[in-house]
Amino acid sequence: MSSSNTTEIKRYAAKLLFQWRIETDGVSDKMRTCEEQIIIIEAETPFEAIKKVKKRAKGQEFRKKNSKYSKKHNCICIVFYEFVGIQELLFLDNYMDEDEVWYDVKKYLTPRERKDSLIPKEQDLFAVIEFREKRQSS
């Protein structure tokens, strides 16, 4: 089979934005908690990757009535988890390590000298905080 007829599956990393939207008596909040996700998608082209990402992300959306809040405040409160869009799509090419899932190239003014303001303390990393909270609650 010639190389022009073969399809090569490529790895892409997609950075997605989701929002938690709260609607009270038909009025949505303006300030919203958002979640950024980075996922890996295999596809032949970036266009196929985008299609797969959107399908997967739309499948994560949901809405539910917050009955407890609605009863307490005598209103109708609905919580929505909604896909906002794809913030970035990267081709994970052969130059990346196998376990590397994301890269972002930026310019910083003297980053090493300003490390304390750019890099959080290890105890402030989300996974560490979450781990401690789970340990304390058990």
> Residue 115: inside a domain, yes or no?
no
Task: Please state, for a pLDDT cut of 90, what percent of the chain lies above it.
Answer: 72
> Residue 31: inside a domain, yes or no?
yes
> Residue 2: inside a domain, yes or no?
no
> Residue 106: inside a domain, yes or no?
no
pLDDT tens per residue across span 19-34: 999 999 999 999 999 9
> Residue 70: inside a domain, yes or no?
yes
Q: How far apart are CA 121 and CA 112, in angstroms?
A: 15
- Given this model, what pLDDT does residue 133 score? 94
| Lookup: tokens for 111 | 């980053």
Helix (H, G, I), strand (E, B) or coil at 46: helix
What is the extent of the structural domain holding 30? 10-93
> Residue 57: inside a domain, yes or no?
yes
- Given this model, what pLDDT does residue 1 score? 43
> Residue 38: inside a domain, yes or no?
yes
Give the pTM: 0.76
pLDDT tens per residue across span 57-66: 999 999 999 8
> Residue 54: inside a domain, yes or no?
yes
Q: Work out how many domains the chain is built from and give that number.
A: 1
| 20 within 8 A of 63, measured Cβ to Cβ | no
- Given this model, what pLDDT does residue 4 score? 54
